[in-house]
C-alpha cells in the first residue's frame, strides 16, 4: 500500500451527494492533465459545450463514501464508444467513464482551489464542433496556451448530417440516445411584439433567442462540467411542448433548489432543461443537445453573453479558468457587436 505521504486524496460529489467518493492519486502523477473534449458523443451525452475529463492513473478507481455506492450511478453504453459512461441517477451529474482506466470529470472535485492538482491542457476533437466555438473562446487558461486538436477521426453523430433541413425553420434539440428530442421555433411576431418579452429576444435580432454562459456551482454539479450554456426558449415555441413538470420523453427531473427544477435524460444522462417558478413558461435549453449545423453555439439561433449571476462561484472554484472564460466570452460578444451586460 502506498504511503499517505506519497499520495493525495481527492474528494468528489455531485449536487445531490448521492454520488460521493474519494480517489487516491500518487503525488508523482500530479497535476492531472484535464482535456476539454468537444466530440459530439460527449456533447450529446452531457448536454454541455464539452466535457472536462482527466485520465486517472492505472489502478486508481473511485472509493465510494457510505452511504454512496456504485449503484447510485446509471451506466450508459452505445455502439459508437468502447467505454461505459456514468451519471448520477438522482441529479443527472455526469461522473466520467470507464474503459481500461477511469476517465473522470474534474468539475465535481473540491480540490480545484489547489493549483497543484489539475492542469487544463488541451481542447480535443475540436473539429467535431463545426465552428470551434469554446476552443475559440478559451484559447488559454492563465499564461498556459491550450493545445487544440482538430482530429478528423472525432466521433460524429449520424443524425447531424440530416439536420440542415431545419436551419431556416426549426432548430433540433436531441440527446445522444434520442430519448429526449424536440424542435425549437424562431421567435414569433406575436412574441416579439409584446414588450413583456423584450429580454428574451436580443435587440435588433428578432430571429434569435437570448443565451448565456455561466459558471455557478449548481450548474457545475448537476452537469459535471466547469461551465453551462443555456438558450432561453418559451415552451410554446417547442414541439412537442414539455409538460409543466418538464416531462418529455425519457427525461427525469431534479429539484436543485426551492423553485428550481432541472431535467436530464434518464437513459444517456444529457442535461436538458432548467426551469423556475419565476418564469414558468420560459425554459433554459442546455446548449450541448442543440443540433445546429453552424456549430455548438447555434449562432444563427442564439445571441450569447456571459451571465453575471454565478461568477463568484466560478472565481471561488477555479479563479484562473473563470477569468480566462469571462475574458474570452466578453471579447467574442464585443466582436459580434453585442453587449456583455446581463442580469441573469
Q: What is the pLDDT of residue 162?
A: 41
Number of separate domains in the chain: 2
Q: 199 with 181: CB under 8 angstroms?
A: no
pLDDT top residue among 176 and 129: 176
Q: Is residue 343, in this structure, part of any structural domain at all?
A: no
> pTM of the predicted model, to two decimals?
0.91
The pLDDT of residue 337 is 59
Residue 131's pLDDT is 64
**What is each CA distance from 191 to 170, 277, 295, in whole angstroms?**
16, 20, 26
pLDDT for residue 203 is more than 60: yes
Place of cell 474519494: 22
* Shared-domain flag, residues 192 and 114: no
Which of 115, 148, 181 is a domain's end point?
A: 148
pLDDT number for residue 5: 81
In a domain, 163, yes or no: no
Q: How many residues does the chain have?
A: 344
Same domain, 187 and 245: yes
Question: 289 and 202, same structural domain?
Answer: yes
- pLDDT digits over 118-167, tens only? 999 999 998 887 666 788 899 999 999 999 986 544 444 444 444 444 34
For the ranges 87-101, 118-132, 135-149, 209-223, which has the lowest average pLDDT? 118-132
Q: How crowded is the C-beta side of 72, counted as CA atoms within 13 Å?
A: 22
Supply the CATH number for residue 249's domain. Answer: 2.170.150.70
Same domain (yes/no): 187, 117: no
Measured distance CA(70)–CA(90) in Å, rounded? 13
- Looking at the fold, whether 22 and 118 belong to one and the same domain comes out as yes
Residues 78 and 218 in one domain: no
Q: In this model, does residue 182 exceed pLDDT 90?
A: yes
Q: Determine contact, residues 138/92, Cβ cutoff 8 Å.
A: no
pLDDT band (50, 70, 90) for residue 115: low
Q: What is the mean pLDDT of residues 254-264?
A: 98
Is residue 122 within 8 A of residue 145, CB to CB? The reply is: no
Say yes or no: 106 and 37 in one domain: yes
153 domain-assigned: no
Give the residue among 137, 162, 151, 179 at the shortest CA–CA distance from 44: 179
Give the pLDDT of residue 127: 83
Could you tell me if 130 and 177 lie in one domain?
A: no
Q: For residue 65, give its domain range.
A: 7-148
Q: Same domain for 126 and 235? A: no
Cis, bond preceding 67 (omega within 30 deg of 0): yes
Integer angstrom CA distances of residue 332 from 135, 137, 286, 325 = 12, 7, 20, 10
Is 14 inside any structural domain?
yes
Residue at 313 is within a domain: yes
Residue 344 maps to a domain: no
Mean pLDDT of 24-36: 96
For the chain, what percent of residues have pLDDT higher than 90?
A: 77
Same structural domain, 21 and 79: yes
Tens-place pLDDT, residues 274-308: 999 999 999 999 999 999 998 899 999 999 988 88
Beta strand 84-88 with 94-98 is: antiparallel
For residue 40, pLDDT over 50 is answered with: yes
Taking the CA atoms of 159, 39, 337 and 308 in sequence, report the sign of the dihedral they define.
Answer: positive
196 and 257 share a domain?
yes
Does 85 lie in the same domain as 234? no
- State how far the Cα of 68 lies from the Cα of 18, in Å rounded to an integer: 6
Residue 3: the pLDDT is 58
8 A C-beta contact, residue 74 and residue 85: no
Q: Is the residue at 158 inside a domain? A: no
- Cβ neighbors of 150 (< 8 A, separation 6 or more) are 126, 127
Residue 342 lies inside a defined structural domain of this protein: no
Amino acid at each position: 500500500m502506498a504511503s499517505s505521504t506519497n499520495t493525495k486524496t481527492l474528494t468528489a460529489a455531485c449536487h445531490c451527494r448521492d454520488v460521493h467518493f474519494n480517489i487516491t492519486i500518487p503525488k508523482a502523477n500530479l497535476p492531472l492533465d484535464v482535456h476539454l473534449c468537444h466530440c459530439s458523443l460527449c456533447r450529446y451525452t452531457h448536454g454541455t459545450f464539452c466535457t472536462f475529463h482527466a485520465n486517472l492513473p492505472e489502478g486508481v478507481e473511485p472509493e465510494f463514501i457510505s452511504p454512496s455506492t456504485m449503484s447510485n450511478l446509471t451506466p450508459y453504453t452505445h455502439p459508437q464508444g468502447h467505454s461505459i459512461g456514468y451519471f448520477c441517477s438522482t441529479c443527472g451529474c455526469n461522473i466520467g467513464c470507464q474503459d481500461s482506466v477511469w476517465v473522470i470529470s474534474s468539475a465535481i472535485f473540491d480540490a480545484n482551489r489547489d493549483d497543484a492538482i489539475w492542469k487544463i491542457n488541451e481542447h480535443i476533437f475540436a473539429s467535431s464542433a463545426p465552428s470551434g466555438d469554446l476552443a475559440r473562446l478559451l484559447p488559454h487558461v492563465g499564461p498556459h496556451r491550450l493545445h487544440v486538436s482538430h482530429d478528423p477521426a472525432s466521433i460524429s453523430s449520424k443524425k447531424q448530417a440530416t439536420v440542415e433541413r431545419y436551419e431556416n425553420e426549426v432548430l433540433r434539440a436531441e440527446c445522444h440516445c434520442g430519448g429526449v428530442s424536440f424542435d425549437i421555433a424562431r421567435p414569433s411576431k406575436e412574441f416579439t411584439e409584446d414588450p413583456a418579452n423584450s429580454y428574451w429576444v436580443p435587440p435588433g435580432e428578432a430571429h434569435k433567442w437570448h443565451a448565456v454562459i455561466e459558471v455557478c456551482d449548481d450548474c457545475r454539479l448537476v452537469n459535471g462540467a466547469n461551465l453551462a450554456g443555456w438558450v432561453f426558449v418559451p415552451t410554446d415555441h417547442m414541439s412537442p411542448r414539455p409538460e409543466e413538470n418538464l416531462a418529455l420523453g425519457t427525461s427525469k427531473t431534479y429539484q436543485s433548489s426551492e423553485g428550481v427544477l432541472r431535467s436530464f435524460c434518464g437513459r444517456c444522462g444529457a442535461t436538458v432543461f432548467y426551469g423556475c417558478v419565476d418564469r414558468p413558461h420560459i425554459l433554459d435549453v442546455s446548449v450541448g443537445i442543440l443540433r445546429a449545423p453552424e456549430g455548438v453555439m447555434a449562432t444563427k439561433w442564439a445571441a450569447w453573453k456571459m451571465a453575471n449571476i454565478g461568477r463568484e462561484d466560478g472565481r471561488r472554484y477555479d479563479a484562473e479558468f473563470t477569468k480566462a472564460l469571462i475574458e474570452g466570452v466578453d471579447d467574442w460578444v464585443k466582436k459580434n457587436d453585442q453587449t456583455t451586460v446581463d442580469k441573469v
